[in-house]
Structure 1
């Protein structure tokens, strides 16, 4: 089996220089690094991650804590982060909580992350004060995606403003009986988006003198199936809404299916708008508020990588813009 000494002999360099070149450390010229990498590849040398970690104190691994890895938003953010990390020679270690409180406790309140990763990305969870203390004690860069955590590096959109923009679009079309499909605002995982988007919806209708009505608010669990259930509940009411704002495109897809099953035409009988600009939204011709999902993952990865190489690093709070994309699921309410 080829070892690092074999590579060093082939390039006539010390093993220390070869090791630095292979690990991307400073003090090695680009020409030398390329020569070493090409020789190692030709000889079939595969460095041991464990040995490299012991020698340098670095694992070249970034942990990503994900509430639900199977949901589109989280998967897209992870994809964006992984692209950046892979290009810089870092691996991604995924912790999927799966909505489980015990899993969250195991990740944040035990030593699970200690000595296993160089940095941590936290997706759409707002860590509690105790969890922030534990993350701080790790002594590793941390970026939170999708939540506002003062004093920490964050990447997000303004969820409340995005929801107001979506609701304002329906109001501008002339709708006044507007329902909202979102998610539980309280729970063990403490998602930030459901509460913020509900607040934005309420603020928009209150601004034109409409009082929030609990009968027009439904829990869609941020899934397609949840959107179907919520859509049936709202659209089967004696006085159904003329428009529905869904807090995610996936829930909006479910609402569209419910409308079809109930014999309602979109947008003639019902207008529907979502948030995300999911890759399937074009197929559904869904009006939506587009957010740069993969870009949030890319920027978060860039933040922790910058922190790993900088002598002095100030955590940055990045708020990315959203935009209204009008398609064919929204229109003025019919006179009937």
Structure 2
């Protein structure tokens, strides 16, 4: 039978509160009393409950992670990285998957993590002022992954600049009719990549003296099926694109399947560039923008833990960290340069 703290208190002849203070090493316990408690605990093989110790310290040893989705590659990578980092630090992860607009509204209205976490990490959500206020009112450190906000810790990439880099690569190969397969910028979940990567795409075209054509922008919803359907539409245009920039590798996979399945050549007839550099992208010879998802998640988690522990007085000195991306050039884009 496992001994309880009550058993230790009875064996030592002291109160439960005294046992708790003695085992935690607090100074307001006489040396003789502490020795008696430690001896009793040893004789009974008593092991203090980690949960009880957390309550006694005023901390939960838990960080809340808020994500708009769990079934997409980016967020799966974030969850895995954060959970592993917290486990190594002796912390737990409390995951909140908002799922849809109703779930999001309910979360920020109720704030169910209140008093249950030591810090909050929000991944890739465009937050409204009322939502920032709700997070601030928790009185806990808040980290932002994928966006920046003055006064908050953050880790992200430059989505606008990265998308511009991808499109400039296609422009440099001679392409002028470049399509965009992207996410829904009107999605009520309002996560950041569709907004920023579209801006980068348009910026690159305009800088090259090309006016963006609305007919060349089509939704792919960050899925292979969406990329497939978008590509079918784009290739049915009277003047189809010679190149496609997809805001995610999943959508690029769908595009490649349609192009190759219709007998066209990649990249000679249509070049394709994705975004993420997921594990399958090398196998599919996909040119893509490599983003360090795990590095972003680990960076912000580490700094949140430092704030909780108050072990790093520089944790907030440089609250915004922007990690670099890299254009990985493969066969899906590097055919002969175009002159048309």
| Structure 2, gaps ≥5 residues long | 12-18, 27-37
Q: SS where residue 318 of structure 1 aligns?
A: strand
Counterpart Cα distance in 1 of 2:191 and 2:290: 20
After alignment, is 312-321 or 202-211 more displaced?
A: 312-321
Partner of 2:154: 154
Residues 325 and 48 (structure 1 numbering): CA distance in 2 closer, same or farther, change over 3 Å? same
Residue 238 of structure 1 pairs with residue 238 of structure 2: yes
4+ aligned runs moved over 6 Å, structure 1: 5-9
Change (3 A) 1:259 1:333: farther
1:329 is matched with: 332
Residue aligning to 1:218 = 218
User: Structure 1, unaligned stretches of length 5 or more?
Assistant: 22-35
Supply the distance in 1 between the matched residues of 2:48 and 2:77 (Cα, whole angstroms): 30
* Matched residues, number: 314
- Within 5 Å, give how 1:156-305 maps onto structure 2: 156-305=156-305
CA deviation string 1:227-271 (max 9, x = no partner): 111111111222111110001111111111121232222112111
Task: Give the deviation of 1:300 after TM superposition.
Answer: 1.4
Alignment partner of 1:109: what SS?
helix
For 1:111 and 1:180, how far apart are their aligned partners in 2?
37
Residues 15 and 54 of structure 1: CA distance in aligned 2, closer, same or farther (over 3 Å): closer
Aligned-partner Cα distance in 2 for 1:333–1:237: 23
Q: Given that residues 179 and 216 in structure 1 are in contact (C-alpha distance below 8 angstroms), is that contact kept between their aligned partners in structure 2?
A: yes
Calculate the aligned-residue CA RMSD, in Å: 2.7
Q: Determine if the alignment matches structure 1 residue 319 to structure 2 residue 325.
A: no
Distance 1:245 1:4 in 2: 63
C-alpha distance in 1 between matches for 2:25 and 2:304: 21
1:106 is displaced (CA, Å) by 2.1
Larger radius of gyration: 2
Partner secondary structure for residue 274 of structure 2:
strand
Instruction: Give the distance between the partners of 2:126 and 2:338, measured in 1 at CA.
Output: 42
The answer to whether the Cα contact below 8 Å between 1:62 and 1:117 also exists between their aligned partners in 2 is yes
Matches of 2:113 and 2:266, distance apart in 1: 48
Q: 1:48 to 1:252 in 2, by over 3 A?
A: same
Contact residue 120 and residue 143 of structure 1 kept, 8 A: yes
How many angstroms apart in 2 are the aligned matches of 1:126 and 1:150? 14
Alpha-carbon distance in 2 for matches of 1:20, 1:72: 45
Are 2:8 and 2:46, in contact at CA under 8 Å, matched by a contact in 1? no
Could you tell me whether the CA contact under 8 Å between 1:144 and 1:154 is conserved in 2?
Answer: yes
Distance of aligned partners of 1:20 and 1:105 in 2 relative to their CA distance in 1, 3 Å threshold: farther
CA separation in 2, counterparts of 1:160 and 1:257? 27
Which stretch of structure 1 is more off in the superposition, 254-263 or 85-94? Answer: 254-263
TM-score when normalising by structure 2: 0.85
- Tell me what 1:82 maps to: 83
The superposition leaves residues 302-331 of structure 1 with CA deviations (integer Å, 9 ceiling, x where unpaired) of 121111012755260010001111111002
